[in-house]
Structure 1
Amino acid sequence: MAGVCKGCGGGAGLPFEFRMAFQPIVAVNEQRVWGYEALVRGPQGESAQSVLSQLTEDQLYRFDQAARVMAIETAGKLFDDPQARLSINFMPNAVYEPQACIQQSLAAARRSNFPPANLMFEFTENERMSDPAHVEHIVRTYKKLGFLTALDDFGAGYAGLSLLARLQPDLIKVDMELLRDIHLSRPKQVIVAGIASMARELDIRLLAEGVESEAELTVLRAAGIDLFQGYYFSKPGFMSLPDVSAFSAATAARAG
Structure 2
Amino acid sequence: MDRVPLVAVGRNAQNAAGGTQRCGACRSGGGVPFGFTMAFQPIIDILTGKIWAYEALVRGAGGEGAQTVLDRVSADMIYAFDQACRVRAVEMAGALFVPGGDIKLSINFMPNAVYEPNACIRATLAAAARVGFDKRNLMFEFTENERMQDVAHVRRIIAAYRAQGFTTAIDDFGAGYAGLGLLAELHPDVIKLDMMLIRGIDTSAVKRSIVAAVVALGADLGIEPLAEGIETPGELATLRALGVRLCQGYLFAKPETGALPPVAAWGS
Q: TM-score, normalised by structure 2?
A: 0.88
Q: Which runs of 5+ in 2 are unaligned?
A: 1-20
The 10-residue stretch of structure 1 (64-73 or 180-189) with the greater mean CA deviation from structure 2? 180-189
TM-score w.r.t. the length of structure 1 is 0.92
- RMSD of Structure 2 on Structure 1 (CA): 1.5
Asked if the contact 2:26/2:123 (under 8 Å) is kept, the reply is no
Question: Which of 188, 205, 210 is the aligned partner of 1:186?
Answer: 205
Deviation, 1:16, is 1.6
CA deviation vs aligned residue, 1:91-150 (integer Å, no higher than 9, x gap): 100111001000000000000100000000000143433311111110111001110000
- Asked if 1:66 corresponds to 2:78, the answer is no
* Alpha carbons 2:143, 2:178 under 8 Å: kept: no
Do 2:172 and 2:178's aligned partners in 1 also have CA atoms closer than 8 Å?
no
Q: How does 1:79-228 map onto structure 2 within 5 Å? A: 79-80=97-98, 82-158=101-177, 160-228=179-247
Q: What SS is found at the alignment partner of 1:251?
A: coil
Q: Hey, which bits of structure 1, 4+ residues long, moved more than 4 A? A: none
Match of 1:36 among 46, 49, 54: 54
Question: What letter corresponds to residue 87 of structure 1 in structure 2?
Answer: S
Q: Deviations over 1:11-70 (max 9, x none)?
A: 352122110000000001101111100000011111111111111111110000000000
SS at structure 1 position matched to 2:238: helix
Q: Secondary structure at the match of 1:62?
A: helix
Deviation, structure 1 residue 158: 1.0
Match of 1:251 in 2: 267
Relative to structure 1, the CA distance from residue 186 to residue 177 in structure 2 (aligned partners, 3 Å threshold; closer, same or farther) is: same
Shift of 1:251: 2.2
CA offset at residue 198 of structure 1? 0.3
**Which amino acid is the alignment partner of residue 76 of structure 2?**
D
The question of whether the paired residues in 2 share the 8 Å contact of 1:75 and 1:86 is answered with yes
Verify: 1:17 aligned to 2:35, yes or no: yes
Residues 1:8 and 2:15 are matched in the alignment: no
Inter-partner Cα distance in structure 1 for 2:251 and 2:238 = 14
Instruction: Give, as a single letter, the amino acid of the residue that structure 2 aligns with 1:74.
Output: M
Percent of aligned positions with the same letter in both sequences? 55
**1:88·1:121 contact (CA, 8 Å) conserved in 2?**
yes
Question: Do the aligned partners of 2:38 and 2:88 also contact (CA within 8 Å) in 1?
Answer: yes
Cα distance in 2 for partners of 1:180, 1:108 equals 37
Residues 210 and 229, structure 1, Cα contact 8 Å, conserved in 2: yes
Determine the C-alpha separation between the residues in 2 that align with 1:14 and 1:127.
Answer: 25
Alignment partners' CA distance in 2, 1:235 and 1:29? 21
One-letter identity of the residue aligned with 1:57: A
Comparing 23-32 with 8-17, which one deviates more in the overlay?
A: 8-17
